[in-house]
């Protein structure tokens, strides 16, 4: 098989998988600043809508981007992780970067990094940010919707000065990096608010996180908008066709808004997106109510409660990857009256496997556990076996190969039920690709 330019790109990017990023004394920020100087990019030239949180970041970003795209407002969108191809992370006005330009940007970065004296300290997220901002700068993009990786201060993107800082739902996640309490986590994430930040959209229900941000509100000039205080929503209906809800904020009172994205949590995400649009109105942008409503309906996010039928088997793909997201997913499945035949999942290292598995437990639905598609994120087989031995009340199967796990899930499938694939966006994307390309036989 011919070794292509794209293969070289993937080989280069894969070399960053599993790298540990130094974060002591803001070292990762120093590296990020130097890297952007290396490629002649000034982040101050961009207007950032920066999104952090534990749940709903990607969906919120997609809702915002859809509204901007429908209003023909030029903007860039960065999200992560990807499902099957790196290009999914980078978009302008709703269109993904094409493979040729992506390869060109990455190879140029690889060339410039060869002479960078601290190249061994460059992490995966550093490179992603370099690609994104190069792409946006090439096309003259100023407004950027940016989904953070992990945390706020912990993320290399904390060198940005966002005009709008957005906080989605907060829960315990990435504790090995962010801290062991909600206060630790929101402290880290709140660092995206800078002295120049005009608006902070606080779209979470978590009381501890809200209380922390309320304290910050009294000590800075940023305008804070809180869900349930400054804007609100009422869910009218939620089923396998989507959601219908009302929204009331500082500028808009919208009725019968519909989303095709499933689950009531998407109403919260969509409402947070509208709150961002209201802040943009105050920054001088113009929007129309009917176009906002249409944009929210058209917004798409693969593998977020996505149902696909293939060869008589119905799959439900969802990238829930922490305990709160799995609990929310389970509640939505039960609300919709769906019957689960089996739960196929992988769980990243540094996660509480038993707690996560019990969060998505369905009676009579066995677990089918398989390794994480990224070897660097795998839980050791001994650790998996230990966790499974402590859950003898739940039927579990462990497969070393993802394809074998999928075959077993299909064998357990019964008519009018669903095979649930969850626990990791990487797994969900990998299995979905197999199902669509190779079928289930």
| pLDDT score of 194 more than 60 | yes
pLDDT tens per residue, range 386-412: 666 666 667 888 888 899 999 999 999
pLDDT tens per residue, range 74-124: 999 999 989 889 999 999 999 999 999 999 999 999 999 999 999 999 999
Pick from 253-262, 302-311, 352-361, 380-389: least confident:
380-389
pLDDT tens per residue, range 370-384: 887 765 555 666 666
Average pLDDT along the chain: 90
pLDDT tens per residue, range 37-64: 999 999 999 999 999 998 899 999 999 9
| pLDDT score of 441 more than 90 | no
Are 346 and 397 spatial neighbours (Cβ–Cβ below 8 Å)?
Answer: no
CATH 3.90.190.20 residue ranges of the chain are: 306-438
- The alpha carbon of 397 is separated from its chain's Cα centroid by a whole number of angstroms, namely 28
Name the fold adopted by 5-298: 3.40.1190
Closest-CA residue to 179 (of 202, 152, 158, 160)? 152
Provide the pLDDT confidence category of residue 1 given band limits of 50, 70 and 90. very low
Closest-CA residue to 253 (of 297, 293, 209, 302)? 293
Q: Give every CB contact of residue 115 below 8 A, 6+ residues apart in sequence.
A: none
The CATH code of the domain at 306-438 is 3.90.190.20
Mean pLDDT over 205-227 rounds to 95
pLDDT at position 324: 86
Burial class (CB in 10 A: 0-12, 13-18, 19+), 3: exposed
Could you give the C-alpha distances from 296 to 63, 103, 156, in angstroms and in order? 6, 32, 30
Query: HEC string of the chain?
Result: CCCCHHHHHHHHHHCCCCCCCCCHHHHHHHHHHHHHHHCCCCHHHCEEEEEECCECHHHHHHHHHHHHHHCCCCCEEECCCCCCCHHHHEEECCEECCHHHHHHHHHHHHHHHCCCCCHHHCCHHHHHHHHHHHHHHHCCCCEEEEECCCCCCCCHHHHCCCCEEEECECCCCCHHHHCCCHHHHHHHHHHHCCCCCCEEEECCCCHHHHHHHHHHHCCCCCEEEEECCCEEEEEEEEECCEEEEEEECCCCEEEEEEECCCCCHHHHHHHHHHHHHHHHHHCCCCCCHHHHHHHHHHCCCCCCCEEEEECCEEEEECCCCCHHHHHHHHHHHHHCCCCEEEEEECCCCCCCHHHHHHHCCCCCCCEEECCCCCHHHCCCHHHHHHHHHCCCCCCEEECCCHHHHHHHHHHHCCCCCEEEEECCHHHHHHHHHHHHHHCCC
Total length of the chain = 441
Pairing, β 164-167 against β 143-147:
unpaired
Closest-CA residue to 242 (of 172, 281, 298, 168)? 298
CA distance 178 to 331: 27
pTM (2 d.p.): 0.91
* C-alpha dihedral, 35 to 36 to 40 to 46, nearest 10°: 170
pLDDT tens per residue, range 431-440: 999 999 875 5
pLDDT at position 283: 97
CA distance 116 to 303: 38
Provide the pLDDT confidence category of residue 209 given band limits of 50, 70 and 90. very high
CA distance 273 to 369: 35
CATH 3.40.1190.10 residue ranges of the chain are: 5-298
Higher pLDDT among residues 154 and 222, named by residue: 222
């Amino acid at each position: 098989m011919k070794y292509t330019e794209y293969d070289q790109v993937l080989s280069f990017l894969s070399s960053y998988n599993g790298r540990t990023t130094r974060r002591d004394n803001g070292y990762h920020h120093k590296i990020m600043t130097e890297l952007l100087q290396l490629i002649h990019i000034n982040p101050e030239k961009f207007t950032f809508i920066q999104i952090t949180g534990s749940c709903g970041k990607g969906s919120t970003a997609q809702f915002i981007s859809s509204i901007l795209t429908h209003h023909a407002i030029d903007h860039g969108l960065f999200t992560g992780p990807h499902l099957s191809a790196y290009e999914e992370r980078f978009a302008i006005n709703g269109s993904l970067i094409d493979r040729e330009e992506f390869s060109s940007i990455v190879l140029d970065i690889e060339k410039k990094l060869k002479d960078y004296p601290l190249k061994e300290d460059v992490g995966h997220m550093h490179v992603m940010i370099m690609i994104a901002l190069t792409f946006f700068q090439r096309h003259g993009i100023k407004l950027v919707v940016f989904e953070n990786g992990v945390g706020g201060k912990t993320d290399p993107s904390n060198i940005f000065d966002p005009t709008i800082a957005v906080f989605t739902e907060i829960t315990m996640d990435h504790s090995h990096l962010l801290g062991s309490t909600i206060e630790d986590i929101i402290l880290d994430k709140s660092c995206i608010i800078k002295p120049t930040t005009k608006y902070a959209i606080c779209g979470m229900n978590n009381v501890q996180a809200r209380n922390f941000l309320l304290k910050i509100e009294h000590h800075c000039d940023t305008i804070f908008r809180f869900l349930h205080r400054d804007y609100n929503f009422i869910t009218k209906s939620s089923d396998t066709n989507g959601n219908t809800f009302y929204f009331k904020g500082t500028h808009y009172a919208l009725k019968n808004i519909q989303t095709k994205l499933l689950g009531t949590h998407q109403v919260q995400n969509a409402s947070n997106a509208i709150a961002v649009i209201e802040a943009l109105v105050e920054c001088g942008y113009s929007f129309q109510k009917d176009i906002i409503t249409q944009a929210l309906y058209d917004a798409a996010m693969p593998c977020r409660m996505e149902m696909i039928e293939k060869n008589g088997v119905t799959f439900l793909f969802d990238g829930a990857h922490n305990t709160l997201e799995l609990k929310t997913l389970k509640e939505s499945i039960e609300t919709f009256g769906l019957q689960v035949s089996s739960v196929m999942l992988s769980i990243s290292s540094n996660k509480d496997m038993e707690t996560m598995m019990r969060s998505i437990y369905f009676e009579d639905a066995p677990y089918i556990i398989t390794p994480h598609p990224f070897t660097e994120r795998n839980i050791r087989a001994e650790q998996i076996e230990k966790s499974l031995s402590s859950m003898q009340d739940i039927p579990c199967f462990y497969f070393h190969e993802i394809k074998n796990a999928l075959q077993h899930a299909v064998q357990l499938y019964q008519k009018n039920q669903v095979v649930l694939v969850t626990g990791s966006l990487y797994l969900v994307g990998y299995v979905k690709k197999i199902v669509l390309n190779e079928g289930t036989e």
